[in-house]
Structure 1
Amino acid sequence: MKRIAIEHLRPTQATHGLREVEKKTREYKALAGHDLAMAIAEKPIPYVIGPDGNAFAIDHHHVAAALWAAGIKEFPVVLVADLSSLDRAQFWLTLENRRWTWPYDAKVRRIAFGAIPKHVYELEDDPYRSIAGLVREAGGYEKTTVPLEEFRWADLFRAFIAAPATDDEFDAAVRRGIDIARSESAIGLPGFLGKKKPSA
């Protein structure tokens, strides 16, 4: 499987959840040898080739940032599309039409595509994105193949939960997020479970 240096992988979103990245980083650092290699191989980064032959991640930004923080400098990738024949405007429009980019800052303000950071370890922290990821891990909703699903969940939690400032407030926000995810307020979002149990 092809591998790419994290340094050379361009992000297609401006934010991530720092707490989620830190949690994944601790998990990677706790592994070694074969176990670490298997954990890395389980989640190859899907990417597209863009203008000037640059590689752009279209998912798993948190995984890439966590691996970088854990001292892993390259990882396996899967090519989804070669869009290198497009000019920059056409490239970003294509990504947006396919829902492969999220050009918004941590306050959900639209930004220019050129303002998206150049490296996955430079993304802005959006605490609601961490809440969304950890609510899913706790069984609040199911993982789906819908692109950018976690950002839609993050926006739901943003509407109901005050931004957490401490670890205790963050833990409380995740517990509140689970309740919200299981409520009628979340109907229509990808992976909505309601009162059902998560799939095994």
Structure 2
Amino acid sequence: MKTVAIKDIRPTQLTHGLREILVKVQFYESLTGHDLEMAIAEKPVPVVLGPRGAPFAIDHHHVATALWRVGIKAMPAVLMADLTRLSYQEFWLTMDDHRWTYPYNAKGQRKSFADMPEHVWELEDDAYRSLAASVRDAGGYEKTTVPLEEFRWADLFRTCLPYPQSEDEFLTIQRRAIKLARSKAAAGLPGFVGKMPSQGL
């Protein structure tokens, strides 16, 4: 598998961070020609083939959605597993066992696998998911290869911080989230880096 039509990509999570997607949209819209082609090539979507051969994304939902929003119809893909032989129920149990799916809504409630949207751009917005990405980008924690790490950080912020209702509130809460990410409360999460270095003498 070298490429996949974005309209055919099935999501394996219920939520995404719309703010994070819009940042990626702005990035892709700033590129043209070879630069855009290279940027797309750098983010192949890892997929698992499921029932009826459908490609299920196990990462890069935000990238796929951003590309769709700027009019890109297909993207590079990497086949991680072929589970077409499994029944619908066996497929989702296997995905769950491998931590290749995250069936939780924006309130952190577990839902049925049948609730998964058909397309990657149909996911529910979760500001805490965007918060997790922005805190990572600001150095609050490091990116790792641990599956679903951003969701674990989002759940910490969901538990401890109020839901941002505006852009100003988001920026205020982001500062609090960075401090929280550097505190002992986050010590067990993937990518934890500890306290910020002290300033001055």
Asked if these proteins are the same fold (TM beyond 0.5), I'd say yes
The aligned residue for residue 187 of structure 1 is 187
Local SS of the residue matching 1:11: coil
Counterpart-to-counterpart distance in 2, 1:142 and 1:61: 20
Counterpart-to-counterpart distance in 2, 1:107 and 1:131: 14
Local SS of the residue matching 2:75: strand
Amino acid at match of 1:103: P
The aligned residue for residue 97 of structure 1 is 97
The aligned residue for residue 57 of structure 1 is 57
The aligned residue for residue 155 of structure 1 is 155
Mapping of residues 74-113 of structure 1, within 5 Å: 74-113=74-113
Deviation at 1:174, TM superposition (A): 1.4
1:42-67 per-position Cα deviation (integer Å, ceiling 9, x unaligned): 11000000010100000011111111
The aligned residue for residue 69 of structure 2 is 69
The aligned residue for residue 173 of structure 1 is 173
Percent of paired sites with the same residue: 61
1:43-92 per-position Cα deviation (integer Å, ceiling 9, x unaligned): 10000000101000000111111111111111000000000000000000
Deviation at 1:196, TM superposition (A): 6.3
Question: TM-score, normalised to structure 1's length?
Answer: 0.96
Amino acid at match of 2:25: T
Counterpart-to-counterpart distance in 2, 1:183 and 1:74: 41
Counterpart-to-counterpart distance in 2, 1:66 and 1:171: 22
> How many residue pairs were aligned?
197
The aligned residue for residue 144 of structure 1 is 144
Q: CA RMSD in A?
A: 1.1
Give 5+ residue unaligned stretches, structure 1.
Answer: none
Deviation at 1:195, TM superposition (A): 2.6
Mapping of residues 36-55 of structure 1, within 5 Å: 36-55=36-55
